[in-house]
Structure formats: C-alpha cells, structure tokens
Structure 1
Amino acid sequence: MLNLERLRALHAVAETGSVAAAARDLHVTPSGISQQLNKLEREVGVPLLAPQGRGVRLTEAGWVLARRTGEVLSVLAQAEAEIASLQSEVTGRLRVGALVSPSRTVLPRAIAEIKQNHPRLEITFHEGESEELLPALIRRDLDIVVVDSWSTAPVELPDGISFIPVHDDVAVVALPASHPLADNKIVALSDLSDQAWATWTPGTDFHAFTVRMLRAQGFDPRIEYEVAEFPAQVEFVAQGLAVALIPRLAKVVPPEGVRMLDTIPPLGRSIYLAWRTDSDRPAVRAAVEALRRQFDALDGQPLNP
C-alpha cells in the first residue's frame, strides 16, 4: 500500500511545478519533500523525478501517479463531505478567500452570520486576487473563494470547480471636481490619455487590468501613484494629483472634491463564488448561502454625495 503523505508530496510537486513550492504549500521543508519522494520512488520501484536545470521534472511514471493521486484526494474529499453531511451540526474548519473589494464590505458580515448560525465552525479568512485564490482552491488550501471576471478579461474557471454568480459590479472613474469633465454624467476613457493615474502596485490583478484596459483605448497610462487601497487612491484624486478606476463594490465614499463617473466603454465584471465540486460539505453550503444573502443585500446607492 502506497503511503498517502508521500503521494500528496508528489501531487504537490506536479501542481506547483517545483519541490520548493510544494514544500511551501504543504508547510514542510524542501528536504522533507525530497525525502518523501525518495521513499516513494523506492516503494514503486521506478524513477518518478528527473533533473531539469536546477530543478526537477516528473517522469511519465511520475505524471501517471500524480494524476491518480489527484483522483484519490478527490474521492477522499467526497467521503469527508458525505460524512460531514450526516452530522446534525455544522462543525470543522472553513477556509474562505476573497478579493479586496468584497473583503471590505460583504465578507465580514457573511462570516459573522455563519459564526452566529454555526458557532462550532472554525473560520479563517485570506484576502487575495483571483489569480491567487483559484490555485489555492484547487490545491485545497481554501474551501470557498470569491473571485471576479471582467467583461474585458474573462476568468477561466478550471474543471472540478463549482461556481455561481452572485453580483454584477462596474468600475467607475474618479476625477477631481475641478477636472473639465467632472460635471459630465459619463466619460470616455480615451479622453483621459493625458492624465496621471493612481492604481494598485505592479503584479496585482487590478494594476494589470487598468493597464490593459487603457491600452485598449489607445494609450499607455502614466501611472504615477501605486497605492494598495482604493480609498487611498481616491485621496490622491481629491488632491488633484491623479484619476483612478474604482469598483463600485469597494464602497468608497468619495471625499469632497471627487466625482465618480461611469465610463465609455463600460467596465463591468461578474463576482462569483467558487468551491471544489468534490467538497460540497455542510460548511461550504452554509458559506454559499450566507454569502449569497449578503451580496443580495448590497444596495445600489451612488458613490457621488
């Protein structure tokens, strides 16, 4: 009988692409992963890894075993979900991940609701971006995530993931009240090609989205202020230093001297809940229902005072 923990180490290497990354995901040392893999190779009697540059790659036998291990882990997760469903009380651990915008608005209320209804359920929360949250969900580091999909850059949801749309959002442009276009009801992004911009730091999804979207309007944005919070970006706008794209879901209350306007083209996105299909246990179902209720409760108040 093959050792499950050793199989899990091989599967992690296949999923992450390296021993070091697998070690981080499994919260062990790289040498610990290597030892597990060496023992696994001796158990199966064939090489599972081969050198590749400074790292390793899976052999054909390694890929076969890693793929079958993924199937085993999926079956075990289904078994855990079925057993949990037999319990009258929702207990255990629930690991939730979400984007920045709903993390400031929906998630605290949803988690409070879950805790109130299921006090014995342990809940942890991680804030991140779709490109980070979905891999963490696939690796089983998270149980349910809130991700987005922009109309201009749709997200690809992988196989084995269940999802439902829960909210339609839109990004608006924040302009200083003194800007010549600030009194308009709608602004063409192409008319802002000469402006300084405030947005998130390079490497984040929203920074990439901003650059990609504005390039599609015919110009490279002059990003002078890289700030990792939407309210902080709006403060730069209030001082007349920049303009910025802000999702309405962020619920940023504009300070005096800032106008929030719809854009041409419109910048819409869908917000999804996603979880592993093989992990449809009561705790996940409770989270889905609470999050759906909290998203349904969002009001549509305009951002301009």
Structure 2
Amino acid sequence: MNLHALRLFHVVATAGSVTRASELLNISQPAITAQIKKFEKEQSIALLQPSGRGIELTNAGRQMAMLAKRLFAMEQQIEQFCEECRSGANGHIRIAATYLPAQFLIPAWIAKFKQRYEQVEMTITTTNSGDALKLLLNMEVEVAVYGGRSEEHSDAIRSEQLFQDELWFVVAPGHRYANARVSLHDMMKEPFVMREEGSSTRERLLALCRTYNASMPRIALQFNGLHEAITAVVAGYGANFVSSLVVREYVQRGELCRVFVEGISLQNTIAIWTRRNEPLSAAAANLVQLIRDES
C-alpha cells in the first residue's frame, strides 16, 4: 500500500478540499489529485467524487478517512514514544543494590526521578555485593549501587564513588559508654546486636578485631533485618556497629548515642557500578546523573 498517497488523501479529507491540502503540504493540486487517483486505481476503490465545484468523500472514502486518521495518530504516538526513549523520558531501568543504599538512599532518589520521568519503569533488586556484580556482568541490570568496603571487581566494571559514610558504634542513652571514649578492647566486652552472618558491617567489625588483635565481639542477638537490630539497641540492650546513614537520625533525636572507640575510624564507600565501555540507556543515564547531583 502506498502510504504517501494515503497520507495525501488523509490531509484532503481533513482539510475538506484539494486546494486547502495543497496549501498545507506545499504540493501542487494536480500532483495531489494524480497520487490519489493512482491510489484509488491500485486499491480498486473510489474515495473522492465531484460535488459542485469541489469534491466530497464517497461512503468508502469516509470509512477510509476514519481508518487513516487512526493510523496517522498512531504514527504520531510512535514518534513521540521514540523521542521519549531517546531523551530518557521512557524506558525500563533495572537496578541491583546492596542493602544499605537500597534501604536508605535509593527510595529518595527514585522518588525524585519519578517526579521528572513518570513513564520510566524501574525494577530494583536488593542483594549482596557479589550477586550485584554478577547481575551487572550478566547484563541482567544496567546499574548497581553498592555500599560497603571497597572491593576488587572485574576490569569490565566501572566504579564511580559517590561519597563515603562513617561506621559508628552506638548504644542506648542509658548505657555506661554513651558518648564516652573507650578502647576497642573494652568495647568488645559488650554484647552486640548485629545482622546475620555475611552482612557487610558484621564482617567489617570482625576484620577490625583481627587487625587490632582484639577479642572477637560477642554477638548476643542476631537479626536478619537491620531495623530489628537497631530497635533492640534503642530498647536498651547491647551495642551495634553500623553505618551512620542508618542511625544518624536516632542519634540526633537522642534515642541512641555514639561510643568513640580510640584510634578507630572506618568508612563505607557508596558507589555506582556500570559496565565499562558500554553506554547507558538515556533513562539510566538520567538516573545516574540525578544520583550524582543528590550525593
């Protein structure tokens, strides 16, 4: 089917005359008429008929005009969709994130992003750092957001550090070490409330003790969720070793207090991982830029 001729017919039908269509398209009237007549002959259908000094649509022409209107409206939608994809206003972003950024950073980032790009779909997988790397290398996600100790990774991965947050020892306000300075040796005598084995902060604490030849911490309570562990300490039991991002507001409200352990200052790296030498989609590039601006 000759879509160019159908488009000419569509303009004639919408404008109401060949003369008006000629003015709109900047194409001569004889050229328009010839194209439509050729289209009618190819399709064995009459679309226009004389009416006084002008023309009018036949019954088949009126039905064809309705179908052409739908077709070219859909064409406009497709063009708009393509433009939105090019600009990043449409698409689907798949993200992997470790627990810390997934729980305490990404929700605010995503809320701001969706306010600007409401049509972009997003899938977020919360996992550990090793699995986040696998998902990225296997092309199952476009972006990974990592929080923890800097790790070695494949040369195929590009790592961009956003910022660093501190790791704090915290206790309830009524604890004898609240806001005090103590040695690591004394701190390790306290019962700890921690997440499950394999959590990044728990591993950092164990590594800290090995580095300074201190006793291993006594994990008196263990939870699979960080919120539950923090709540137990707020309630007055034990100590925790945790990202300042997680407990800063608790400390500001006076629900928790820091313990300043002499000679110890550790930080977490918050970073974005992407595949090296591979361009991001426009939507993912917009998200990464927003995260940079917010960090």
Q: Normalising TM by the smaller chain, what interval?
A: 0.5 to 0.7
Which sits farther off after the overlay, 251-260 or 156-165? 251-260
Answer yes or no: is the 8 Å Cα contact 2:196–2:223 preserved in 1: yes
Answer yes or no: is the 8 Å Cα contact 2:88–2:281 preserved in 1: no
Stretches (4+) displaced over 4 A: 83-86
Answer yes or no: is the 8 Å Cα contact 2:98–2:127 preserved in 1: yes
Match of 1:212 among 187, 201, 207: 207
Rounded to whole Å, the distance in 1 between the matches of 2:188 and 2:141 is 40
Tell me how far 1:269 sits from its aligned partner. 1.9
* Structure 2 alignment gaps of length 5 or more: 1-81
Q: How does 1:24-39 map to 2 (within 5 A)?
A: none
Q: 1:117 maps to what in 2?
A: 116
Rounded to whole Å, the distance in 1 between the matches of 2:138 and 2:236 is 44
Answer yes or no: is the 8 Å Cα contact 1:174–1:234 preserved in 2: no
Deviations 1:265-293 (A, max 9, x none): 11112211111121422122111111122
Answer yes or no: is the 8 Å Cα contact 2:161–2:272 preserved in 1: yes
Deviations 1:62-101 (A, max 9, x none): xxxxxxxxxxxxxxxxxxxxx9998244422101122222
Alignment identity in percent?
Answer: 19
In the superposition, relative to structure 1, how do residues 92 and 193 fare at CA in structure 2: closer, same or farther (>3 Å)?
same
Q: Structure 2 length normalisation: TM-score?
A: 0.63
In the superposition, relative to structure 1, how do residues 257 and 285 fare at CA in structure 2: closer, same or farther (>3 Å)?
closer
Structure 1 counterpart SS, 2:110: helix
Structure 2 counterpart SS, 1:253: helix
How many residue pairs match? The answer is 209
- Structure showing greater radius of gyration is 2
* Structure 1 alignment gaps of length 5 or more: 1-82, 296-305
Alignment partner of 1:181 is 2:177: yes
Q: 1:250 maps to what in 2?
A: 246
Deviations 1:193-224 (A, max 9, x none): 21111111113333322222233331111111
Q: For residue 293 of structure 2, what is the amino acid of its counterpart?
A: R
Q: 1:137 maps to what in 2?
A: 136
Aligned-pair Cα RMSD in Å: 2.5
Rounded to whole Å, the distance in 1 between the matches of 2:255 and 2:108 is 30
Q: 1:265 maps to what in 2?
A: 264
Tell me how far 1:261 sits from its aligned partner. 3.3
Rounded to whole Å, the distance in 1 between the matches of 2:192 and 2:247 is 20
Q: For residue 259 of structure 2, what is the amino acid of its counterpart?
A: L
Answer yes or no: is the 8 Å Cα contact 2:88–2:284 preserved in 1: no
Q: 1:191 maps to what in 2?
A: 186
Which sits farther off after the overlay, 117-126 or 207-216? 207-216
Q: For residue 96 of structure 1, what is the amino acid of its counterpart?
A: I
Answer yes or no: is the 8 Å Cα contact 1:175–1:182 preserved in 2: yes
Q: 1:288 maps to what in 2?
A: 288
Answer yes or no: is the 8 Å Cα contact 2:192–2:240 preserved in 1: yes
In the superposition, relative to structure 1, how do residues 262 and 88 fare at CA in structure 2: closer, same or farther (>3 Å)?
same
Tell me how far 1:251 sits from its aligned partner. 4.3
Q: Structure 1 length normalisation: TM-score?
A: 0.61
